[in-house]
Amino acid sequence: EDQVTQSPEALRLQEGESSSLNCSYTVSGLRGLFWYRQDPGKGPEFLFTLYSAGEEKEKERLKATLTKKESFLHITAPKPEDSATYLCAVQAKENFGNEKLTFGTGTRLTIIP
């Protein structure tokens, strides 16, 4: 069974204090690992897809990396508007679309001005 574990559950940072969020996964052949951002009362918003170990993607202050067992979401010099819950999900190779997308429970990030 596919599993995704995110840590920490919650993280409070001062504005400008860089850190990383972790997503550990177990999947029977990884097709893709997805990162989403979710604001309170909103639906998840897509950030990145990573397909193979060693791949990296960046968007503004966020950088996602992938190994064979985990992914990191690095946040550099965060701002208060980066406060949100960050979700990680994996999709197994044998599945079409997202019907077997397995989500973690998320990391709630708070950036203090």
Partner 1 sequence: NAGVTQTPKFRILKIGQSMTLQCAQDMNHNYMYWYRQDPGMGLKLIYYSVGAGITDKGEVPNGYNVSRSTTEDFPLRLELAAPSQTSVYFCASSWTRPRRDTEAFFGQGTRLTVV
- Binding residues for partner 1 (CB under 8 A): 4, 32, 34, 36, 41-46, 49, 51, 87, 89, 91, 96-106
Helix (H) or strand (E) holding 58: strand 56-59
What is the smallest separation between the CB atom of 72 and partner 1, expressed in angstroms?
A: 19
Closest to partner 1 by CB, 49 vs 76, is 49
Query: Residue 34 or residue 78: which is nearer to partner 1 going by CB?
Result: 34
Residue closer to partner 1 by CB (options 15, 56) is 56
Provide, rounded to whole angstroms, the least separation between the CB of residue 71 and partner 1: 15
CB of 34 to partner 1, least distance (A): 6
Within its chain, how far is the Cα of 82 from the centroid?
13
For the purposes of burial, counting CB atoms within 10 Å of the CB of 60, is it exposed (0-12), middle (13-18) or buried (19 or more)? exposed
